[in-house]
Structures are given as C-alpha cells and as structure tokens.
Amino acid sequence: MTSPAEVRCMLMRGGTSKGAYFLADDLPTEESVRDELLLRVMGSPDPRQIDGLGGAHPLTSKVAVVSPSADSEADVDYLFLQVAVDRAEVSDRQNCGNLLAGVGPFAVERGLVPAGTDETSVRVRMVNSGDFATATFPTPGGRVDYSGDTEISGVPGRAAAVVIEFPPGRDELLPTGNVRDTVGGIEVTCVDNGMPTVLIPAEALKITGQEDPKDLESNRELTARLHDIRLAAGHLMGLGDVDGTTVPKLTLVSAPRHGGAVTTRTFIPDRVHTSIGVLGAASVAAGLRIEGSVAHGIAALPDEGDRLRIEHPSGFTDIESSIDRTPEGGLRARRTAVVRTARKIFDGIVFPVPRTGGH
C-alpha cells in the first residue's frame, strides 16, 4: 500500500492525552511508509506542529492503531505510536495507558466489536508489550455514550467512566531483580507494571518534588543528571540503549500534600508530565506497595483496601493496586484497575502535509 493522500481518522481524548486513532487497514502496511505518513499527519518535525494534528506536546502527539485481534484472549489489538514533536521520529517502544481509554469506544465506533445494550467490555491486547487490558464503558441503546459524571484531574468537565482493568501480572515487577539499585550515585527502584519506570526520591536530587513542571524542565543541571540516570537504568532494566526513546519513565516521588499516597513528577523523558500516565501510575502504585522500595517509606499508605491516590501536578489519579509473590519468590501485580474517561472529538478524513509541500 502506498502512502495515501487522505486517511480516515478519529481524533480522541483518552485520559489526559489526545491522539489520532486509525484502523490498521487504513494505514500503509510497511512501517517506514506508515511512519513517514504519520509524521505528515501530525505535522512533525515542527515545534508547533502547525501544519498537522499534533498539539506541540508529547501528550498531544500520539497515535493509536487498532485492528481485530487473532489472539483468543483479546477482541482487538492496539498499537501505540509516539510521534516526536520536533524531530522526524515515530516510536513503538512503549505503551500508552491514556490512549488505551479510547480504544474500546473506537473499536465499537468502527464496528470491530458489537455494542452491548447497556455497557460494553472490550478486551485489548497492547501490541507494544503483549500485555492485556479490559475496558468497560457505557453503550446505552447500543451506541457509545461519552457523556457522564466522572471527573479526572487534568481534564476539564465530566464524561463517561471508562474502567480499565489489567489481569494479574505474568512478569516480575522488579526487572533488575533488586528492590533498590544505585544509579548515578543515588538509590532508585526500577519497577515495571505495564510501563518501565524508575522511582527516584525527589530529595535525593535536592528538590522538593512539588515544583511546577516548567521549573523542573528549565533546571538544566537536573535534566542532565536525570538523562544520565535514565540511560544507565535502561541498561539495568534490560531495555538496552534508551537514548532517543521515551522509556523508562522517571518519576520523582515525595510525601503527599493533599491526602493522597504520594506526590509525583514524571519526566517523559525531557518534558514533565502535567499529570501522570495510566500505566506509569500503575507502576508507581505497585512500587509503593513493595516493602523496602525508595517510595515505600515516603508514601502514606492506607491501612486497608487496594485504592491508592497518586498526586501529580494537575491533581490526582486513583488506582487500585495490590501485589503478591510469584512461586519463585519474586513480586508481581495481583490487581490493577483505574477509572479514566475518553471523548470523541472528530471523526472524518485527515489530509497529511503533501510530500512536496514546503513550510
């Protein structure tokens, strides 16, 4: 399939991110051709992405590619692609739990999954990692209903709840095999509960962890140090050379200020998330539960129940998280569930920047 001059596309907000959703059949099958097309769709490389759908930020320069799944455990496959803003790069090195919130509704909208009369559950295989999730959302009368009373921090107004539940983890939570590792002269905890994440005590970096994201981004000494920590942690976590990729995420943790379990600031990798990703929150929550982790002693854990409130720059994310031991004595996630919202913004045709067009 050659690169088309126009493509069917649905723009959706999923959680606290926004992205372009495509059926796999509507895109070129050859990866290099597909990626070149998506750069033109999103308007990259350009700091403002002025000639495309992108919103000049990693959280609004995302793509979901959805197709029927051949896996008996899933209804659809979801491939997440991060389109860089200011460089010609498309990465499939990570999942996105925020765009995941829109995958189920999109699958129903495109006829990949039949809608239930009241609500619909869509089983999703996340192609990037091979992990699974089930998204449940309202479909009264057999149509997706995006309106509702659920509020999530980082998104104005209210919308219908999308409950995303992840099956018990099959892999160990600690990819290095250690509860703590020393990286760049400080102790960290490397955890992966759907998103490779490095937990770092903010005070170890001589900051409070309460700073505004822009102030953290402009702290060149801090960002240079975090860059080195991320590269070293990537090797320890078995990810290889992570230079030029967005994983692992680095999450700075400090004591909660508003009644939650912990305060977070997450680098993705150079910009600071204005909230926190769903899978990133899942990894942080699991890390809080691990006795001896760098976050365990900082966190204010509830006396009972699985629900944890993760504080972030624009509010909080509630996530239910519990862990247990593997038969071999390691640690794995027993339950992870989160409530998000999603909304269809437009459904139509996108016209990519012509190859011969100039800026």
Tokens 């499939």, located at residue = 92
- Contact between 236 and 178 under an 8 Å Cβ cutoff? The reply is no
Domains, the chain, in order of start with CATH, read 7-169+342-350 (3.10.310.10), 181-325 (3.10.310.10)
For residues 85 and 88, give the distance between their C-alpha atoms in angstroms, rounded to a whole number. Answer: 8
What token pair was written down for 114?
């039949």
For 229, what's the count of Cα atoms within 13 Å in the CB-facing half-sphere? 30
pTM score of the predicted model: 0.78
Positive or negative, the CA dihedral 244, 248, 254, 257 is: positive
Confidence of residue 356 (pLDDT cuts 50, 70, 90): low
For 266, counting Cβ atoms within 10 Å of its Cβ (0-12 exposed, 13-18 middle, 19+ buried), the class is buried
pLDDT at 168: 83
- Contact between 155 and 164 under an 8 Å Cβ cutoff? The reply is no
- Contact between 252 and 207 under an 8 Å Cβ cutoff? The reply is yes
Q: How far is CA 358 from CA 39, 344, 353, in A?
A: 14, 31, 9
Q: How far apart are the first and last CA of the chain?
A: 27
For residue 327, pLDDT over 90 is answered with no
What pLDDT digit, counting tens, does each position of 102-155 carry? Answer: 999 999 999 999 999 999 999 999 999 999 999 999 999 999 999 999 999 889
For residues 30 and 35, give the distance between their C-alpha atoms in angstroms, rounded to a whole number. Answer: 9
For residues 288 and 171, give the distance between their C-alpha atoms in angstroms, rounded to a whole number. Answer: 18
